[in-house]
Amino acid sequence: MNLTLLGFGKMGRIISSLALPTHKIVSIIDPTAPEATHKTVTAEALQNTDVVIDFSHPSAVLSNVGLVAQLKKNIVMGTTGWYDQLSAVRQMTEAAGIGFLYSSNFSIGVQLFLKIVERAGGLFSAFDQYDVFAHEFHHRQKADSPSGTALSVGKALLKTMPRKKEIFADTSHEKIAAERLHLTSTRGGYIPGTHEVFFDSEADTVEIRHTARSRAGFAAGALKAAQWLHGKRGFFTMEDYLNDLLKL
């Protein structure tokens, strides 16, 4: 494929190194990176592009998607923290007739972890003696909290455990209501990302954990998603990609 990287921070650089020599990076769009070929999205920048991979900044997502959609290029969106604008982004991409795939986390291991968590929630749901809660760790420079992946974990549990009605993603200064799923976060150091789910009773604890060793897993997943999205039209998530791969 011919790829354009929109945003050339840590993730953009890793994607670039993993993409070669299988794929060609035809453009790097970033307002400040010295390696960038263009500072903004233009027709020239996307001229020979098959798929745009965006790891820029949440504040730029709406503008970037609008410009790329006008130029009829498919987008893999790796930026998080913009989901309050999901409806507007979907309208733009569907109106343009392009392919768009987004995810809170592109790691294949994380996507399988989410399926395991969802299945586990359904199993433990039948046993009221088990409470469930979750925690995540990330490096101190991560901009959003809780992480998009942690929220996906929470949604997977709400989906399969009807007794949990809402996610409470803050420090609790009082007792946690039984219908709340407590989802907490730690920011510090250089941790790429760890997510944990606990099913706890008076007798025992069952713990499910995913630990990322580096950002390479996220980058590799984004490239896999771009390959899958190439030539497609529609609005997708990594779950669609995984379900297609697993024939679910």
**Domain check: are 187 and 206 in the same one?**
yes
pLDDT of residue 50: 98
Domain co-membership, 10 together with 47: yes
Q: Please give the residue range of the domain that contains residue 148.
A: 108-211
Give me the pLDDT at residue 80, please: 84
Instruction: State the catalytic residue, choosing from 135, 138, 164, 210.
Output: 138
In angstroms and rounded to an integer, the radius of gyration of the C-alpha atoms of the chain is 19
For residue 71, count other CB atoms closer than 10 A to its CB: 16
CATH code of the domain containing 37 = 3.40.50.720
Low-confidence ranges of the chain (pLDDT < 50): none
Residue 142: active-site member: yes
Q: Judge if 39 and 91 occupy the same domain.
A: yes
Q: What is the pLDDT of residues 183-198, one digit of tens each?
A: 999 999 999 999 999 9
Say which of 73, 142, 164, 210 is annotated catalytic.
142
Active-site annotation holds for 138: yes
pLDDT score for 104: 85
Question: In the prediction, which pLDDT does 225 show?
Answer: 97
* 64 and 183 inside one domain: no
DSSP per-residue string spanning 74-130:
EEEE---S-GGGHHHHHHHHHHHT-EEEE-S---HHHHHHHHHHHHHHHHHTT-TT-
Tell me the C-alpha distance between 166 and 73, whole Å: 37
| 25 and 66 inside one domain | yes
β pairing state of 194-200 and 205-211 = antiparallel
Residues 140 and 223 in one domain: no
- Alpha-carbon torsion (165, 171, 177, 183), positive or negative: positive
Question: Are 178 and 203 part of one and the same domain?
Answer: yes
- pLDDT recorded at residue 81: 83
By the 10 Å C-beta count (0-12 exposed, 13-18 middle, 19+ buried), 223 is classed as buried
> Which pLDDT score is estimated for 247?
85
- Tokens representing 74? 């498919």
What is the domain count for the chain?
2
Tell whether 100 and 128 lie within a shared domain: no
